[in-house]
Amino acid sequence: FFHRLEKQARDFPVWWGELYFEYHRGTLTTHAEIKRWNRKCEFLLREAEFFISLSQWLAPATTEQPAWPQDLHTAWQKLLLNQFHDILPGSSILEVYDQALSDYRDIAETCERLISRATAQFLPVAQKAPAHALAIFNALNWERTEPVEIFLPTTAEEVAIFDSQHRPVPKQVLQKTPSGQRLLIQPQVPATGYETLTVLEQKNRQPDSSLKVSQRAMENRWFRLRLNANGQILSLWDKQQAREVMAPGEKGNVLETYEDLPANWEAWDIDADYVYKPLSLFRCREVKVEETGPLRAAVRFTHRSENSTISQRIVLYEALPRIDFETEVDWHEQRVLLKVAFPVAVLSPHATYEIQFGALERTTHTNTSWDAARFEVVGHKWADLSEGDYGVSLLNDCKYGYDVRDHRLRLTLLRSPFPPDPLVAGPHVDYRQATDQGTHRFVYSLYPHAGNWRQAQTVRRAYELNLPLRCMPLDHRKKLSQPPRFSFLSVDQSNIIMEVLKPAFDGPGIILRLYESSGQRGRCQLRIAPFPQKIELCDLLENPIRAISCQPDRCQIEYAPFEILTLKLSYGSSD
């Protein structure tokens, strides 16, 4: 059949762009906990594959290869099963989600176990955290200088932290307890690798900081914010570009609520007329400055309705040019839609949204019925609105429903429809209760930037939000058998993203999967250490296509717009 079809392919009509389905927009948000678990497990599996690959490079003689791929395979099967219609869309009966949540917890436990086991093959990981040595891992293919939280079980009055090159690592004390102290540190970690740190009980000079914070104002080297009593942004001044980010006379970070009662398929749909049914449910009841620097500043705003509570930290960093909104919601509304809105001083007829292995433009106007129908659209880790030389990206760590109309960037945070009513209700399930009741945690981030989303490297910023640096305690009494600082892979083009680093599915070797993220054509240079004996270009099923010619320590690869490149790295007969 397919061979006959292929012969006729030249006669088929071709559609360029998105085939937008004008129904079931609510499935981008319903059952938010399931969507959060899905995102977190996707990245945990990515990390597990990364750590296993590192162990096979750095300690091939001790790597327990046979059992691990099967553990990974089982975890992936569970994740993909739960991406089935109607589980991930949030339109299944409630019993389904009891099983799904159990599966996600199993996936997370499997990944953490594999990560710990793999790391112990090449670094002396401590079972109980000592206070003298740490390893910080970066699973992304560019160097990062970012804050990461750690716990040190020491009651020393002062501690100093140094990296492998004996440079002091900036730190901020978050909390001291009788059992130790929680710190925020800011190491420099190489691409696709790790950095080791030494902790000494001695004084360390506090780093210089541009952070300033009060209940109504926040500032760092990039931004100056003015806030009102409700945690809304009255002004966001971009200090680097000398311009106001918010639209004149409008407020940002506005938590909007609407009556959400679609005509049909309640768990599936959001109807266009919801915009005519605004609600005013929440009032800010408490404001508190929680952190003042030198690495991070935070103000917490607590909003309450008659039934629910939204607790949100607005966070500025010394090292990161983004604003985080760390949000925890105790949600007990029924048939209510919750969005956050940022009206920005940007004019463009198109906004850009991340999709899998690429990005997609959609209109910001309602010129045609097709344009008007896209009042709720899918985006993965980010959406962006940019004009000629400036733009604003809205990042998230577990949400999928966006809308951009004119100059208003909005992200859908929660819904609370009633679930589908099965023919025979389960004995312990109350189908008269709305979905999504209980606690939700999520982060969205505002990233104003010069240039467009490509020039601002929005894709990288979104990956950093979703895949933070990972800290592991080391046993300082054992000598390192590996370099104290290690980078396996670096790529010289910022638009090339390493999406997969994993053991080959069938046989020896390591699979490296890259993709071009900006819709550009070009050539990139890969540096890999240790360099493999052979690199082969493969298809997605890991079947070799051709060998890649290489120099002794690097290779060059050509890429096309949004192309996915799968490479097999071979290190010898046993790899």
pLDDT tens by residue, 416-472: 998 876 555 455 656 678 899 999 999 999 999 999 999 999 999 999 999 999 999
> Was domain 133-207+469-473 assigned CATH 3.30.2350.10?
no
CATH code 2.60.40.2220 region(s) in the chain: 488-570
Residue 62 pLDDT exceeds 90: no
Residue with tokens 């309602």: 366
- Residue 428 confidence (pLDDT): 61
- Residue 422 confidence (pLDDT): 59
Question: Nearest-CA neighbor of 47 among 129, 125, 111?
Answer: 111
pLDDT band at 129 (very low <50, low <70, confident <90, very high): low
Q: Which residue type is seen at 279? A: L
- Residue 93 confidence (pLDDT): 87
pLDDT band at 87 (very low <50, low <70, confident <90, very high): very high
Q: Which two tokens stand for residue 489?
A: 């892979």
CATH class name, domain 488-570: mainly beta
Mean pLDDT for 495-504 is: 95
Q: Which two tokens stand for residue 239?
A: 């200090």
- Residue 185 confidence (pLDDT): 96
H helix runs in 448-501, sequence order: 458-466
Mean pLDDT for 239-257 is: 98
CATH code 2.60.40.1180 region(s) in the chain: 133-207+469-473
- Cis link prior to 294 (omega < 30° from 0)? yes
Lowest mean pLDDT among 75-79, 136-140, 302-306, 475-479: 475-479
CATH code 2.70.98.30 region(s) in the chain: 220-456
Distance, CA of 96 to CA of 87 (rounded, Å): 7
Q: How many CA atoms lie within 13 A of 92 on its CB side?
A: 17
- The fold adopted by the segment(s) 220-456 is Beta-galactosidase; Chain A, domain 5 (2.70.98)
CATH code 1.20.1270.50 region(s) in the chain: 25-120
Residue 174 pLDDT exceeds 50: yes
pLDDT band at 66 (very low <50, low <70, confident <90, very high): very low
- Residue 508 confidence (pLDDT): 85
Residue 67 pLDDT exceeds 50: no
CATH class name, domain 25-120: mainly alpha
Q: What is the pLDDT of residues 537-550, one digit of tens each?
A: 999 999 999 999 98
**367: Cα separation from own chain's centroid:** 33
Residue 42 pLDDT exceeds 80: yes
Query: Average pLDDT of the chain?
Result: 92
- Cis link prior to 86 (omega < 30° from 0)? yes
Structural contact between residues 97 and 90, judged by C-beta atoms closer than 8 angstroms: no
Q: What is the pLDDT of residues 178-231, one digit of tens each?
A: 888 999 999 999 999 999 999 998 888 888 899 999 999 999 999 999 999 999
Distance, CA of 47 to CA of 217 (rounded, Å): 37
pLDDT band at 151 (very low <50, low <70, confident <90, very high): very high
Structural contact between residues 100 and 87, judged by C-beta atoms closer than 8 angstroms: yes
Structural contact between residues 347 and 249, judged by C-beta atoms closer than 8 angstroms: no
